[in-house]
Structure 1
């Protein structure tokens, strides 16, 4: 089952400006996707010239998401996922990973990006046993997100909250913490928080992000690993804690030794 809840209609929300580079499309480009335009590829290539590891960061972030969701749907037994800041569909989206493990899983995606809305139908393909729902909403509109999500998710049962590379788009760190706190407070005991974001290196990555912020439509702020850890205050961090994404429970079948990147992630449980 698939549902779109956008408040104003998918068609009205889907006005796409292809003259300005857009971060979800650039990210899609780095992941090898096709949902991007020449302006996105141009900025993406410029960024990669300044900071070549960005492609590894993008891919390791997606791989971290897959491993985290696989663990939550498997060992942790989670059947409900609230993914805010969905981005464009690529490979191993939250619903695909969760429903491979547990076909009955229910996923609510949240984003307010027109290009993502335009691809909502592709994103919302669910297993017959489960469900996916899409909400057109801003990260800061916590009450509406929770109200609409409750139409698909049971807030008396554990939910996994996914915040992947979205909190960096909140310039003020304390404001970002407030948003996370409000969302986590609404989740029942036994729920989980999954966060990943780019981390400052004091050098090339920061310089590339400065270029990004001048050329892109949605500025991004790098955090320190210590700041990312603060999102999990009051939660029980799963091992190995807040680490570079490739170091979070790497798959045994991975070849070679995982290499740290400037993208840290973690998973925490609400008691």
Structure 2
């Protein structure tokens, strides 16, 4: 185990809680401490509900919308039902580019992807607040003259109002053609958000100061008025087109939404 694994990492801790193997002892210990402090239900259940919703959203983009390429910004590690796994299981030729700001996450993710069968998948370093660079790097794998699915799952809640997150989304949407889609996952306001953030600070010190939780209207505003929200609109992960056998979920700490560029 390298020194990289001596300090807990949120993406590796999430991988552990999802049942993955791309993690080390420090990640597992921190994740278990966060679970023990989680104030609402089971952190594992909530993470898996969010990952399941991501899978259904990707399935919609690749299946119903017929997209052949996806750009996932703020991706974490590509394990345990990640975007490329879901997309390429449905359509093996789907091209996927992941983006994350953390160079350690990018290096680890690239190692993981090299261990998998060859697929049209790439991982680049970048930040949502520099969309031009993200788009330039993505063109090594994606053809941005054709419709693309923009996944902002885990990125927008790291932006303060002063960062103009809606404006950054608009810049990305303006750079891709008609028929493209946006799918997002965003932390929600919650009556227990303080204790939730305190629990996550056991993995990432200062977590609560790094994120901005928004209500349903605030998340809808990030998408603007020009995109066409598909039903059920801005919804909790368990309510976004759930499987027929799904158990009804309680109050969620996340919002999900999918919208099309006309």
Q: TM-score, normalised by structure 1?
A: 0.84
Map of 2:254 onto structure 1: 263
In 2, the alpha carbon distance for the partners of 1:38 and 1:84 equals 27
CA offset digits 1:208-245 (Å, max 9, x no partner): 20453475156333222222111211210010000001
Q: What is the CA-CA distance between 1:36 and the residue it aligns to?
A: 2.5
Matched, 1:37 2:24: yes
Q: What is the CA-CA distance between 1:122 and the residue it aligns to?
A: 2.0
1:222 to 176, 200, 213: 213
Map of 2:238 onto structure 1: 246
1:134 aligns to what SS in structure 2?
strand
Distance change (3 Å), C-alpha of 1:236 and 1:243: same
Q: 256-265 or 208-217: which moved more?
A: 208-217
Distance change (3 Å), C-alpha of 1:170 and 1:89: same
Q: 218-227 or 52-61: which moved more?
A: 218-227
What residue ranges of structure 1 are gaps of 5+ in the alignment? 1-14
Aligned length: 254
In 2, the alpha carbon distance for the partners of 1:183 and 1:124 equals 28
Map of 1:4 onto structure 2: none
Q: What is the CA-CA distance between 1:255 and the residue it aligns to?
A: 4.4
Contact 2:106 2:124 in 1 (8 A): no
In 2, the alpha carbon distance for the partners of 1:182 and 1:263 equals 24
5 Å-filtered alignment, 1:1-271, equals 17-51=4-38, 52-113=41-102, 114-123=104-113, 131-172=120-161, 174-203=163-192, 205-213=193-201, 216=204, 219-233=210-224, 234-252=226-244, 254-271=245-262
Once superposed, what is the RMSD of the aligned Cα atoms?
A: 2.4
Q: What is the CA-CA distance between 1:200 and the residue it aligns to?
A: 1.8
Q: TM-score, normalised by structure 2?
A: 0.86
Map of 1:9 onto structure 2: none
